[in-house]
């Protein structure tokens, strides 16, 4: 059963559709439901296990959850449309070509920037750029129904004609990605609704230990003030404000500390006595600014931290977050993330996920042998680096991220001789990017095409322009080299989450104790559960990881182990 849920002047409109997006013959017209009735109507219809189709999960699901209505599955038109508009598997379809025309005609509004680390140079593609969407469909039932039908038509044509087996395989993979992405949207809303268990008094205690008593608004905590006084004395700057980068740089230069930035690695090169208190100041200042008392007042309520997650917030498929820094909970305050009485936190992360994904993508049988033990790097070291795990790790990560200079560059020939298929796979992805082509994750999420500025940069004439063009091309090659691995790892993580959610729901439906997903970060999940459910939840986490591997790659001889810690507080997980 497919049920479209759309906005209406009187509340909401519900319409049953066929699998391909046509109005269902039995109920060809939408049904109008008032806002007051909606939760009850949806609760009743959920008994028929429909797939809810809507513009955005965030538009509807949080309010339904607040009303006590939990749904099993949905289809998020915005998230799925973004994938279909850019996927290599559907590039030949009218849907993708219409999307490309809309972008060329500047009909897309400027997208919000993803909340991620500072972007790389403008000439380089970035895994952290906003993916860009097909023009957002309007919200009337007819418009959304037409959008869903167009997406299903594109999905049906995935892979193109002529190579039936490949076409079917691509359609299945892309269909899985759309289902996992939509499930991820529901999980994000559910985690926001549930919240991360957070003990405010423990957070206050941590801040007091690091910073001193809570200061009046607008004042520095005592320990920061003491470090400020020490820095003023050591740098002979009585009025120094160490929070001001400009003032700090001038004071450092006046004292013969010739640094270009105030980054930790550069400051550590100086032996001046001011360096140690300066590094301590910077560390405590970050804690105070990012997760201090103001953050606690703004983001933690009733013992829960409830950030808003942005599914597919980066082009590789990784999540982002909007507000609160959910994806950057620093180690200093993880002790405040604490299970409720009678409960435990189960923190699980996929061990060495991206290198293992590369093994599966490249079908490198020798590296697969190295991956059979829990520590892939140790296995690689034993096969080709004389047992030196550190060198094996540097070499493999260098291959994935394109670090071809320094230690990585020196070790790359040995890695290539030992694992020609794995290295050849990422090298080919790099060559595709350098040539201005796109690469695609295992399930069908494709990298953005090169910008017009990038294409123009490659039309060089002089020798100087050619050198710059080559450098820009190599930057894009590093992007695509990593995209195909990181994107496929994001595919795996999306399936892991969806499979885990399904198992936890089944535990609740069976009437026994069950856990709740409360946190997710790239390759790590956190489940909050009653103590009696720890064994079952742990089993569900491990089974879901294995199921995700088989969904993506089938029954291959590569393991995707997860490390599990059962703890009272997050700081004890690692």
Q: Is the domain of 46 the same as that of 159?
A: yes
Residue 441 is assigned to a structural domain of this protein = yes
Q: Are residues 519 and 549 in the same domain?
A: yes
Are 274 and 240 in the same domain? yes
Q: What is the pLDDT of residue 218?
A: 87
Instruction: Using a pLDDT cut of 90, give the percent of the chain over it.
Output: 80
Does 109 or 537 have the greater pLDDT score? 537
Burial bucket for residue 253 (CB in 10 Å: 0-12, 13-18, 19+): exposed
Are 289 and 311 part of one and the same domain?
Answer: no
301: in domain: no
Q: Give the lowest-confidence range in 36-50, 161-175, 209-223, 346-360.
A: 161-175
- Residue 571 · residue 203 · CB < 8 Å: no
pLDDT at 374: 75
43, HSE (Cβ side, Cα atoms, 13 Å): 12
Cα maximum dimension of the chain: 83
Q: Which pTM was predicted?
A: 0.90
pLDDT of residue 11: 92
Residue 393 and residue 345 in one domain: no
Residues 497-518, mean pLDDT to the nearest whole number: 96
Does 263 fall in a domain? yes
**Cβ atoms within 10 Å, residue 374:** 12
pLDDT band at 166 (very low <50, low <70, confident <90, very high): low
**Number of domains making up the chain:** 4
Assess whether 461 and 365 both reside in one domain.
yes
Confidence band for 278, pLDDT divided at 50, 70 and 90: very high
Among 275, 296, 317, residue at a domain's last position: 296
Cα torsion through 271, 273, 277, 279, rounded to 10: -10
CA distance 187 to 334: 22
Regarding whether 123 and 235 lie in a shared domain, the answer is no
Task: Indicate whether 362 and 506 sit together in one domain.
Answer: no
Range of the domain at 536: 306-353+491-572
Pairing of strands 304-305, 300-301: antiparallel
Average pLDDT value for residue range 199-206 = 98
Q: Based on the domain organization, do 336 and 401 belong to the same domain? A: no
CA distance 75 to 538: 28
User: Tokens 């710059």 label which residue?
Assistant: 468
User: 504 with 516: CB under 8 angstroms?
Assistant: yes
In this prediction, residue 161 has a pLDDT band, given cuts at 50, 70 and 90, of: low
Asked whether residue 61 is domain-assigned, the answer is yes
């Amino acid at each position: 059963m497919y049920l479209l849920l759309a906005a209406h002047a009187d509340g909401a409109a519900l319409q049953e559709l066929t699998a391909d997006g046509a109005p269902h013959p039995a109920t060809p017209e939408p049904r109008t439901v008032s806002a007051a009735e909606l939760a009850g109507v949806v609760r009743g219809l959920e008994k028929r296990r429909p797939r809810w189709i809507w513009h955005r999960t965030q538009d509807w699901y949080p309010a339904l959850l607040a009303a006590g209505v939990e749904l099993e599955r949905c289809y998020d038109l915005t998230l799925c449309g973004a994938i279909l508009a850019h996927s290599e598997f559907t590039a030949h379809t009218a849907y993708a070509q219409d999307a490309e025309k809309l972008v060329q005609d500047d009909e897309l509004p400027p997208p919000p920037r993803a909340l991620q680390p500072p972007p790389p140079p403008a000439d380089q593609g970035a895994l952290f750029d906003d993916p860009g969407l097909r023009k957002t469909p309007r919200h009337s039932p007819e418009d959304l129904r037409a959008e869903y039908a167009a997406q299903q038509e594109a999905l049906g044509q995935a892979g193109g004609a002529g190579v039936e087996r490949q076409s079917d395989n691509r359609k299945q993979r892309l269909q899985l990605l759309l289902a996992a992405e939509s499930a991820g949207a529901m999980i994000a809303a559910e985690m926001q609704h549930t919240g991360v268990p957070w003990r405010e008094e423990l957070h206050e205690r941590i801040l007091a230990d690091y910073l001193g008593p809570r200061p009046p608004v607008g004042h520095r905590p005592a320990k920061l003030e003491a470090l400020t006084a020490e820095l003023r004395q050591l740098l002979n700057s009585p009025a120094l404000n160490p929070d001001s980068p400009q003032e700090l740089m001038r004071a450092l230069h006046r004292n013969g500390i010739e640094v270009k930035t105030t980054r930790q690695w550069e400051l550590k090169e100086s032996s001046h006595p001011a360096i140690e208190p300066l590094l301590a100041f910077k560390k405590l200042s970050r804690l105070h600014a990012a997760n201090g008392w103001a953050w606690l007042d703004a983001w933690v309520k009733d013992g829960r931290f409830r950030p808003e997650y942005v599914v597919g917030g980066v082009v590789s498929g990784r999540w982002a977050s909007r507000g609160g820094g959910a994806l950057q909970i620093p180690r200093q305050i993880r002790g405040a993330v604490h299970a409720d009485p009678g409960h435990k936190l189960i923190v699980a992360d996929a061990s060495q996920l991206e290198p293992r994904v590369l093994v599966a993508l490249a079908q490198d049988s020798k590296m697969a042998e190295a991956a059979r033990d829990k520590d892939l790097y140790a296995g690689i070291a034993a096969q080709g680096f004389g047992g030196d795990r550190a060198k094996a790790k540097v070499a493999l990560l260098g291959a994935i991220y394109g670090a071809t200079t320094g230690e990585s560059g020196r070790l790359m020939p040995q890695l290539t001789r030992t694992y020609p298929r794995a290295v050849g796979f990422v090298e080919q992805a790099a060559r595709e990017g350098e040539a201005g082509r796109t690469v695609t994750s295992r399930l069908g999420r494709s990298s953005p095409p090169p910008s017009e500025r990038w294409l123009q940069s490659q039309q060089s004439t002089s020798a100087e322009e050619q050198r710059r063009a080559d450098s820009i091309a190599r930057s894009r090659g590093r992007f695509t080299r990593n995209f195909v691995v990181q994107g496929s790892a994001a595919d795996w993580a999306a399936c892991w989450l969806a499979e885990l959610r399904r198992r936890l729901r089944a535990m609740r439906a069976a009437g026994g104790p069950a856990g709740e997903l409360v946190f997710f970060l790239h390759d790590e999940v956190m489940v909050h559960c009653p103590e009696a459910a720890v064994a079952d939840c742990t089993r569900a986490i491990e089974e879901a990881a294995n199921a995700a591997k088989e969904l993506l790659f089938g029954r291959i001889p590569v393991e995707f182990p997860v490390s599990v810690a059962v703890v009272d507080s997050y700081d004890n997980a690692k």
